[in-house]
A = this chain, B = another copy of it.
Amino acid sequence: MDKKKFRQKYNLFLVEGNKTINELFNSNFKIKEIFSTDPQKLDRANVPVTHISENELKKISFLQHPKDSVAVCYLNEEKKLSDQNLQLVLDGIQDPGNMGTIIRLADWFGIEQIICSKDTVDFYNPKVIMSSMGSFARVNIVYENLTDYLLNTKNLNIGTDMDGENIYSFERPERMNLILGNEGNGMRPETEKLLQKSVMIPRFGKSQSTESLNVSMAAGIILGQLFGVRE
């Protein structure tokens, strides 16, 4: 189940930990069954729960230090919402930790939808699910042909680029997509062509050797700015 092809074959994915599993009861996700060392901590038992030992949990968990439960859940049917006023668009994000962090950011800022290129890491990947800390259940995530999508959206497509407009003077448009590129290569040239504008976070440190900020950190700082209320 750590491989996309198996998740798709069986239409199932795993969620670990009572805390996140309990949140699923109030979400669109359906749980097939739960294996738990501590079933009392599960909110509701309207799904089959098997009481298992710590050792059994270790065998089915993807975690180095497994928590209390593993839930086997059904994949949701992907369904794109109409464009929201502020959306994230991911162009080839590969690192599950970044993906999870970005989903968590979206949830924090109340962003309801993330549009991903087809080659963006699968959000059902167990590392994404874990690092999103339950937020995956509150954000609608869809995988689209990005060129088609960006061509047809009525939102302004805003990229991130060191040559972009300073985020501190950028005026947030009424409707926008914030586009985040691949960790190593950035956005695809086809995506860049479809941008109306780019923004950048100025570097205040003096050293030229300083690495660019990680994509999820950059997303957080930009979102922080976009939500800022300027007097």
A residues neighboring B (CB under 8 Å): 23, 26, 101, 104-111, 133-135, 138, 167-169, 201-207, 209-211, 213-214, 216-217, 220-225, 227-231
The complex places the Cα of A115 from the Cα of B211 at a distance, in Å, of: 22
The answer to whether A225 and B227 touch (CB under 8 A), given A104-B213, A206-B110, A217-B105, is: no
Chain B residue nearest in CB terms to A221: B224
* A180–chain B nearest beta-carbon distance, Å: 14
Residues of B within 8 A of A223 (CB): 221
Copy number in the complex reads 2
Residues of B within 8 A of A224 (CB): 167, 201, 220-222, 224-225
Residues of B within 8 A of A107 (CB): 205, 207, 210
* Interface contact B227-A230, CB-CB below 8 Å: no
The complex places the Cα of A62 from the Cα of B231 at a distance, in Å, of: 49
Can you sample 6 A-B contacts with CB below 8 Å?
Answer: A134-B211, A138-B207, A168-B228, A213-B220, A217-B217, A228-B228
* Interface contact A214-B101, CB-CB below 8 Å: yes
* A231–chain B nearest beta-carbon distance, Å: 7
The complex places the Cα of A222 from the Cα of B206 at a distance, in Å, of: 20
* A108–chain B nearest beta-carbon distance, Å: 6
* A230–chain B nearest beta-carbon distance, Å: 7
Chain B residue nearest in CB terms to A231: B230
* Interface contact B210-A227, CB-CB below 8 Å: no
Residues of B within 8 A of A209 (CB): 23, 26, 134, 138
The complex places the Cα of A206 from the Cα of B26 at a distance, in Å, of: 14
The answer to whether A205 and B168 touch (CB under 8 A), given A104-B213, A214-B101, A217-B105, is: no
Partner of A104, one of B23, B108, B211, B222: B211
The complex places the Cα of A62 from the Cα of B221 at a distance, in Å, of: 31
